[in-house]
Each structure stands twice: as C-alpha cells, then as structure tokens.
Amino acid sequence: MKVAIIGGTGDQGFGLALRFVQAGLDVIIGSRDIKKAENTVNIIKNMIKGDEMQIQGMTNEEAAEEGDLLILTVPLQAQVVSLRSIKDHSEGKILVDATVPLETCLGGKPNRYVDLWEGSAAERSAEILKDKDVKIVSAFNNISSASLINIKEEVKCDCLISGDHEDAKKEVMKLAEKIPGVRSIDCGPLENARIIEKITPLLINLNIRNRIKLAGIRITGL
C-alpha cells in the first residue's frame, strides 16, 4: 500500500512520513511545491539509512493520484484549497484528515479551537469530497509532531480514530499501529471528530504550561 501524505512538508506530515518509512512502508510526500517535497525526501533519507527505503516526492495532485491511502496534514487555512486540488484524484480512496482547527489560522493563539460550520475539519472534508465516494477517517490529530520526529523513542500517545466506514477505520487503525508505542482507539462515527480535534489545543496548552513538546493522551480501561 502506498501512503500519500498531502502537505507532507509540514511538521506533522514530515513526522508521519518518518515513522512510516521507518516501518518499511511505501511513502509519497506531496506538496504544492515539488522542490519542497523532494527536499523533505532527502532529509528523511539522511535520517533513516537503508537501501530498501521507498519514498518519493510529488505534487499534491500527483501524490493523490498515485497513493492508495491519503493523509491530509495541512493547516486549517490550506485545507479547502488542498482538498479541491486533489478532489479529482481521490475517487474511491481512503482519506485520513489530521487537520485541527486552531486559532493560528486567524493569527491567534495555537491553543484555541476554531468552531467550524460543518462541526469538525474531518466533516468539512467529507462535505467537499462527498461526490467522489471518498472514505473520510479522522486520525493523528492528537499525536504531536515532536513525538513523531523523535524517531529514537516510542510515541507515548493513543491514536483516536473516527469515521463512518468500518473497513476504512480498520485500515487506518492498522496503519497507526505501525508507529511504535501507538495504540489505535475506535472512537465511533465521524461526527466524534468534533470532540477529538478539540483535545489537541488542550495538549498544546499543557506543552506550553509545562515547557515540553511531547504531551499526549492515553485511554485507560479498554
């Protein structure tokens, strides 16, 4: 399975790409700027040595066309334009939305949530791609990029996953658990992304208050 990361040159996309390449997966870094995508690929190759490494850089449109499973890792202000750019290349695929609506998109604070008309960023993706039979799954919202990039350590955070397609959720849950230390938690239908996305600004606030970067969340009792 080829995993295409749309907007993969940002911290979250970069961290996920690192972890998936480390796990031996075939990864595509997508970007609006092909040079940025290729530079990110070179950085990952320098961080993870191996002759069997499968990673390449493409434009977002090319990545969406080539990938079997797509992961959207762009800031909120780039979500709509990114989705529209890949819409015609995403027919029938799984798209994982890791977007978190933070006030930084409006020049505000990173630990404040922005309420969306659709209810959540993931539901906005579902609305934009509704005529393309794309299976939207919300995941990776609460795992910090710093934890992902720190590839010498396990990630101490559960991956909270929601979606309306059970088969798609199962695929994403298996993918998330390729990351050492991550446990996937099925959190029900896509509308629960409204709750999951709001956990991220809380974790950012904890990072700021405690002068750390690796705050995560674990669900107990399961």
Question: How many whole angstroms separate alpha carbon 134 and alpha carbon 93?
Answer: 5
Share of the chain above pLDDT 70, in %: 100
Does 217 fall in a domain?
no
Tell whether the torsion through CA atoms of 117, 118, 121 and 127 is positive or negative: negative
Please report the pLDDT score of residue 140 as a whole number.
Answer: 98
Domain CATH number, residue 12: 3.40.50.720
Please report the pLDDT score of residue 59 as a whole number.
Answer: 97
Using the predicted structure, report yes or no on whether residue 106 has a pLDDT greater than 80. Answer: no
Question: How many whole angstroms separate alpha carbon 193 and alpha carbon 197?
Answer: 6
Question: How many whole angstroms separate alpha carbon 195 and alpha carbon 134?
Answer: 22
Please report the pLDDT score of residue 162 as a whole number.
Answer: 98
Mean model confidence pLDDT for the chain:
95
Using the predicted structure, report yes or no on whether residue 156 has a pLDDT greater than 80. Answer: yes
Number of domains the chain is built from: 1
Please report the pLDDT score of residue 27 as a whole number.
Answer: 98
Q: How confident is the model at residue 49 (pLDDT cuts 50, 70, 90)?
A: confident
Please report the pLDDT score of residue 35 as a whole number.
Answer: 97
Does 218 fall in a domain?
no
Please report the pLDDT score of residue 108 as a whole number.
Answer: 83
Using the predicted structure, report yes or no on whether residue 111 has a pLDDT greater than 90. Answer: no
119 burial (CB, 10 Å; 0-12 / 13-18 / 19+) is middle
Which domain, by its residues, includes 152? 2-210
Using the predicted structure, report yes or no on whether residue 216 has a pLDDT greater than 90. Answer: yes
Does 92 fall in a domain?
yes
Does 72 fall in a domain?
yes
For the chain, the helix, strand and coil percentages under 3-state DSSP, each to the nearest 5: 45, 15, 40
Please report the pLDDT score of residue 103 as a whole number.
Answer: 84
Using the predicted structure, report yes or no on whether residue 173 has a pLDDT greater than 80. Answer: yes
Residue 220's contacts (CB-CB under 8 Å, 6 or more residues apart) are none
Q: How confident is the model at residue 188 (pLDDT cuts 50, 70, 90)?
A: very high
Exposure of 126 in the CB half-sphere (CA atoms within 13 A): 19
Does 205 fall in a domain?
yes
Please report the pLDDT score of residue 138 as a whole number.
Answer: 98
Tell whether the torsion through CA atoms of 189, 192, 193 and 194 is positive or negative: positive
Q: How confident is the model at residue 104 (pLDDT cuts 50, 70, 90)?
A: confident
**Which is more confident, 72 or 113?**
72
User: pLDDT tens digit string along 16-39?
Assistant: 999 999 999 999 999 999 999 999
Does 149 fall in a domain?
yes
Does 222 fall in a domain?
no
User: pLDDT tens digit string along 50-59?
Assistant: 778 899 999 9
Does 52 fall in a domain?
yes
Per-residue pLDDT, averaged over 182-211, amounts to: 96
